[in-house]
Structure formats: structure tokens, C-alpha cells
Amino acid sequence: MFSHLNASQQPHMVDVSQKTATLRMARAQARVVVGNNILALFNNGDIQTPKGAVFQTAIIAGIMAAKRTDELIPLCHSLGLDGCDILITTQPPDQVVIDCTARVTGKTGVEMEALTGATVAALTIYDMCKSISPQIVIQEVKLIEKRGGKSDFIYQENTLQS
């Protein structure tokens, strides 16, 4: 049974009122294939464009998005995040890797916030670099790990471990 369907199979927000607040953390990752021509522009920790510093802007956009996940995803709980960190690195010859870690002390997890933060950071990189090359591909977005709540897991290729 899906958690977002009630006994009548109608959508509903999961009731977490009886849960205990615990420290919860989730880390998500997005990979963006930008091409080696864009990576060649990487200088002093960022790529400068007429729109500004690409990675700095993507970090801010990702954090802002993580904070507003409940406004974007139906039935998500509103969470006041305790923290959100985004790390952007390059992976030659042609990729940018975005890691978003979200933390909250609450009654529900922060997986959607971490996934949203990584995704919006990837979209921001796409938007800021599309004039250089229209062949940018957001290759994958995935949950890497989750801690707190009922169960923890760490993503492994083709296998989820609880």
C-alpha cells in the first residue's frame, strides 16, 4: 500500500503527529554532462558567465529549492530545515557532480528536500550554460543515503541496503 493513499485509496498527507522527532539526514546527487568545452572554462573553483558565477548561483538555487520543497511536491510535509549543504565538483572529462545534504530534527525525513536541492542546482547549471552548448544532459538524480527515522540506507549500484 502506498503511504500517500488512505484506506479508501484516496490521496492524503501522511499523519506524523504520533512520531517522535529525531535528527534526520538525506544526501542526494545529480550528475550533469556539460561537455569538455564547458569544463575547460572552469577556473578558480567556478565557471564565470555573463549571468554570473555558475556554481555559486546553483548552490544558492538548490538551497532555496530544498527549503521550499513542500510548495513543489504535493503531500510533502513543511519542514524547517536545520541545514542544507550543496557541494559541486567536476569529474573530467565532461561531468559536474552535485551533492545535496539536507538535515532536520523532525518527524519525517528530508529525502525529497535533498533530491529537490540537487535537481534545481542541476537545472540552474543547465540554464546558465545553455548558451555555450545546448547539448547539456542532466544524466541522473538519486538518493545516496538517508539517516534517522525508522530505517537508514546507503545507495549502492543496483542494490539498496537497509
Annotation says 127 is catalytic: yes
> How many angstroms separate the CA atoms of 114 and 69, rounded?
9
Which CATH class, in words, describes the domain spanning 22-146? alpha beta
Residue 158 has pLDDT above 70, yes or no: no
**Shortest CA distance to 94 belongs to which of 148, 153, 34?**
34
> What pLDDT, in 10s, does the model give residues 97-148?
999 999 999 998 899 999 999 999 999 999 999 998 889 999 999 999 999 9
Torsion of CA 115, 135, 59, 160, to 10 degrees: 30
Residue 161 has pLDDT above 70, yes or no: no
CA diameter of the chain: 56
Share of the chain above pLDDT 90, in %: 60
Residue 51 has pLDDT above 90, yes or no: no
Give the model's pLDDT for residue 47.
85
Give the model's pLDDT for residue 116.
98
Q: What is the DSSP code (8-state) at residue 151?
A: -
- Is the distance from CB of 12 to CB of 4 less than 8 angstroms? yes
Beta-carbon count within 10 A of 76 CB? 18
Torsion of CA 50, 51, 52, 53, to 10 degrees: -100
> How many angstroms separate the CA atoms of 113 and 143, rounded?
11
Residue type, 99: D
Per DSSP, the three-state class of 148 is: coil
Phi/psi class of residue 45: alpha, beta or left (left: φ > 0; alpha: ψ in -120 to 50)? left
Mean pLDDT of the chain: 89
70, 82, 94, 127: the catalytic one is 127
Output the pTM of the full model: 0.88
- Per-domain residue ranges of the chain: 22-146
Give the model's pLDDT for residue 159.
56
